[in-house]
Amino acid sequence: MGNSRRSEKNGVHWNHNASINGLLVIVMVLFGVCHIAEANHTITIDCSGLNRCQKCTSQGTSCVWSLERQACFADYGKRLSLAVRKKTDCPQVTSVTRVTYAAYLPYVYKVQVSNDVTGFMAFLEDVQVSCVILDVTRPAQVFNDTISCAPVDKSDLGFDHQRLMTYHCYVTFGDGDTILRLDDSADSYFAVYDEFYYGYPMDAESCVACVWDVGHYAYHYKWCSSRNVATGRYLYYVGYSDTDRNAAMPADDRLAATVPASSGCEDVRVRFVEPSSALWTGDVRIKVMVSNHLILADGGEVRVTVAGRACARPTSTVRGTGVTCVLTAPGPGEVPPRTAYVSGPVIISYGASSLTVVSAQTFRLVYPEITDVSPSCGPLTGGTLLTVRGRQLNAGRLVTVTVTAAADGESTESSSSSSSSVPCEVVARYVDRILCVTGPSDRAAVGVVRALFDGKLLVQDGPDGPLTFTYGAEPALTAGQRFEGIASGGTAAPVRGTGFTCVRDAVMYVDRDGVRRLAASHCRPVNDTFMVCDTPRLDGPTGAGDSPERLRFGFHVRHADGHVSDMPPQPDTDGYVAHSDPVLVDFSVSAIGQTVMISGLHLGRGYRAADVAVVGFANNLSSVVCNVAAITRRHIVCKTASPSDLNGVPTLVVTIGDRFTRTVHSTAYRSPSFGILFFVTVLVLIALVYYCYYKSKSIVVPRFGFANTM
């Protein structure tokens, strides 16, 4: 027995340990998963494309620059020799001079290293350092903060009375496969001039130079125009791989240099484009300002492309700071964009200097779109503030808006000489909307809203076809109508008239005892000549029977354009006829004819059969038990398909309009309490009559004034 208890106790103790162990395992697994997820997230950091120390260390703590390997790596926190993690710790690596003259040869290419806080120069003193010029490796010497390459003379450079020659030089160390990265790629090149002109800045005057990177290739471009008296026209263009010194320049880059927008080159860049967008139809003069445009053009051919479309007749500006050209019209196969615009850079190509420059600024070819017009209706007199919504509606220099109504018998989608156009005066224009004020129209009509941009691009279709505006007459009631209702209100009053198209909403009102009473619900326009309105509720009793009250009434109307007016009745209308609420007594069910008869007084006045509903439960007014077929002065006749379903039903609920509700009892149903009360009342009356009669026979009046009762 004791062993059994000990085993049981130990079993509980073992399960407790197992739970703790299991929890620890789960925590360890989750920790491992988090660690793996964190490691995977760290691996996604790509630092390999950052080929300068300043760029690498500008990424916060994500990347680290290795001076020993001259490369950028993802920073996992591992110890690296000669590692730089802060931008301020990057050594500054620059060339001492990039220009010399034939008379000063031989030339020594020198690189200076400053801000050496990591001991990089001490490291270079202990390894082999070389210089590569014209694919020839030459020894180099490290002293203090300077790296000096072996001197090169005319024979080494192949210089023989050329006006100007440019050479690529770079420093390697270690096994010769590590290239020292200079802060400015242009420092990897030096120029040799044949002659020296005192006081003439030949390296800057009429010359441009630019370096840029695309992928793992570094490009260098130099151009001097014919205006440079020392060199004349001179072009130097070369590209080298950062990873493979023996790799050839891509074939697409060999014919002409293309300076990307991301180059950051100040000598060669598109400074700005004006305007920044134009209509899809073209025929717009565009100005493109380019740094050193005259030097690059140098009298040669210039071609301009704007967002993929040619810009014709490029002409240098008066001051020579750029070109102006005319954007051509779309070609035969060029279709309008699905979106409101297409965009792209401005590309300018120079034939003389074999250079193409891509702008950082994008240019838009805009095709405006109209998506909505509001309000959709307004009066014939005009003056409606129309809002035309869409996209790119501020395009072009000028826009005109019209409402074009088709002639009788024509559709709104067609237009002919017989169509009438009403101007809509533009008062404001934004990228997403145009505001204009409609002019007057000589007739009621539905017109298409059209926007014409710069007199040549017509826009009128929305997402689902043409967008229209309706000129409508002021709403008015027709003569010969009778308006009536009951005291509770809420019944439907048919209203006939004209000009209901431009009615946003309307409400019926009745004036009684100096108080204006509005209907609880708004009118429901059906078409231009008919709407249905609810009648207002009247507080207190009204005229009964054949003597109803006649009250002043009308309609508050809010138009589609926002203004409010009053719509009075015609003079022949003898006021609003206010009847008293009907009195409902009981109902009976007849199997013959499948009819339910609801009895009452003063029925059928101020409402129609459509206003009446007969339901089975007061809390469920949708459970209609029969359909009202007719109303007389004493009965509401209701037809039902299953009269047997109403046998034994003690009550029905009758509603008239939205406000009047009454419960009526069945004539075939009397409660037991009523029968007993009726029977007891009759017995009491009989007993009372008998007692009074017997009492009158039993009284004797004596002669001497004393009464004796037998």
Q: Do residues 466 and 542 both lie within one domain?
A: no
Q: What is the mean pLDDT of residues 408-430?
A: 72
Please write the tens of the pLDDT for every residue from 627-642.
999 999 999 999 887 7
Residue bearing tokens 């990228």: 431
Angle (CA) 112-118-121 rounded to 5° is: 40
- pLDDT for residue 197: 58
Return left, alpha or beta for 227; rule: phi > 0 is left, psi -120 to 50 is alpha, else beta: alpha
Q: What is the pLDDT of residues 314-362, one digit of tens each?
A: 999 988 899 999 999 998 888 888 788 899 999 999 999 999 999 999 9
Given 518, 544, 579, the domain boundary residue is 579
Query: Judging by DSSP bridges, how do beta strands 110-114 and 92-95 pair with one another?
Result: antiparallel
Does residue 15 fall inside a structural domain? Answer: no
Please check whether residues 78 and 134 belong to one and the same domain.
no
Could you give the percent of the chain with pLDDT greater than 90?
Answer: 54
**What spatial distance separates the first Cα and last Cα of the chain, rounded to whole Å?**
106
299 Cβ contact list (under 8 Å, min separation 6): 226, 352
Q: Residue 86 pLDDT more than 50?
A: yes
Q: Indicate whether 384 and 323 sit together in one domain.
A: no
- Quickly state the pLDDT bin for 74 (edges 50, 70, 90): confident
CATH number at residue 500: 2.60.40
Residues 290 and 270 in one domain: yes
Q: Are residues 549 and 627 in the same domain?
A: no
pLDDT, mean of residues 517-537: 94
The answer to whether residue 29 scores a pLDDT higher than 50 is no
The answer on 376 and 339 residing in a single domain is: no
Least confident of 112-116, 459-463, 656-660: 459-463
Calpha distance 549→480 (Å, rounded): 19
Q: How far apart are CA 91 and CA 63, in angstroms?
A: 16
Confidence check: pLDDT of 208 > 80: yes
Which of 68-72, 99-103, 398-402, 674-678 is the least confident region? Answer: 674-678
For 490-494, 557-561, 614-618, which range has the lowest pLDDT when averaged over its residues?
Answer: 614-618
pLDDT in tens, 474-494: 899 999 999 999 999 999 999
CATH of the domain at 296: 2.60.40.10
Question: Would you state the structure tokens that stand for residue 78, as one six-digit string?
Answer: 């591992």
CA 567 from centroid of its chain's CA atoms:
40
Q: Is the dihedral of CA 182, 185, 191, 196 positive or negative?
A: negative
pLDDT in the model for residue 365: 93
The SS3 of residue 334 is coil
Choose the final residue of a domain: 88, 111, 145.
Answer: 88
Q: What is the Cα–Cα distance from 557 to 522, expressed in whole angstroms?
A: 10
* pLDDT the model gives residue 702: 45
Same structural domain for residues 440 and 494?
no
Report in angstroms the alpha-carbon separations of 385 from 230, 378, 438, 447. 69, 9, 7, 16
Is pLDDT above 80 for 26?
Answer: no
Overall average pLDDT of the 201-228 stretch? 82
Q: Give the pLDDT score at 544.
A: 61
Q: At which of 202, 218, 240 does a domain end?
A: 202
Average pLDDT for 305-311:
95
Q: Is 308 helix (H, G, I), strand (E, B) or coil?
A: coil
Question: Which residue(s) pair with 316 in the sheet?
Answer: 323
Mean pLDDT calculated for residue range 41-68: 80
Q: Is the pLDDT at 613 greater than 60, yes or no?
A: yes
Same domain, 501 and 550: yes
What backbone torsions phi and psi does residue 145 show, to the nearest 5 degrees? -105, 20
pLDDT top residue among 252 and 275: 275
pLDDT at position 10: 37
Q: Is the residue at 17 inside a domain?
A: no
Band the pLDDT of 701: cuts 50, 70, 90.
very low
One domain, residues 133 and 196: yes
In which band, very low, low, confident or very high, does the pLDDT at 77 lie, cut at 50, 70 and 90? Answer: confident
Q: Distance between CA atoms of 652 and 599, rounded to whole angstroms?
A: 12
Q: Does residue 100 sit in the same domain as residue 198?
A: yes
**pLDDT digit string, tens, across residues 573-601:** 889 999 999 999 999 888 776 889 999 98
Q: Is the pLDDT of residue 656 over 90?
A: yes
**Residue 704, SS3 per DSSP:** coil
Domain count of the chain?
A: 6
In a domain, 390, yes or no: yes
- 116 in a domain, yes or no? yes
Helix (H) or strand (E) holding 388: strand 385-391
Averaged confidence pLDDT in the chain: 84
My answer on whether 651 and 628 are in the same domain is yes
Residue 39 has pLDDT above 60, yes or no: no
List C-alpha distances in Å: 215 to 67, 70, 186, 240, 261: 21, 17, 17, 11, 14
Lowest-confidence segment of 178-182, 365-369, 547-551, 679-683 by average pLDDT: 679-683
Does some domain include residue 590?
A: yes
**Band of the pLDDT at 660, cuts 50, 70, 90?**
very high
Residue 493 sits in the same domain as residue 451: no
HEC profile of 524-578: EEEECCEEEEECCCCCCCCCCCCCCEEEEEEEEEEECCCCEEEECCCCCCCCEEE
**Three-class SS state of 177:** coil
State mean pLDDT over 153-167: 89
Distance CA 682, CA 660 (A): 37
CA neighbor of 323 nearest in space, from 262, 272, 258? 272
List the structure tokens of 237.
Answer: 């263009």
Q: Is the residue at 302 inside a domain? A: yes
Residue 196 lies in a domain: yes
Query: E strands along 606-668, which residues?
Result: 612-617, 620-631, 635-639, 651-656, 660-666
Closest to 559 (Cα-Cα) out of 523, 505, 507? 505
**Poorest-confidence range of 10-14, 99-103, 271-275?**
10-14
Domain residue limits at 66: 53-88
With respect to residue 238, please indicate whether it lies within any of the assigned structural domains: no
Place of tokens 């149903």: 669
Backbone angles phi, psi at 686, to 5 degrees: -65, -45
Claim: this prediction has a pTM higher than 0.75: no
pLDDT of residue 256: 78
Number of H helices, E strands in the chain: 7, 54
pLDDT tens-digit readout, 258-298: 999 888 899 999 999 999 999 999 999 999 999 999 999 99
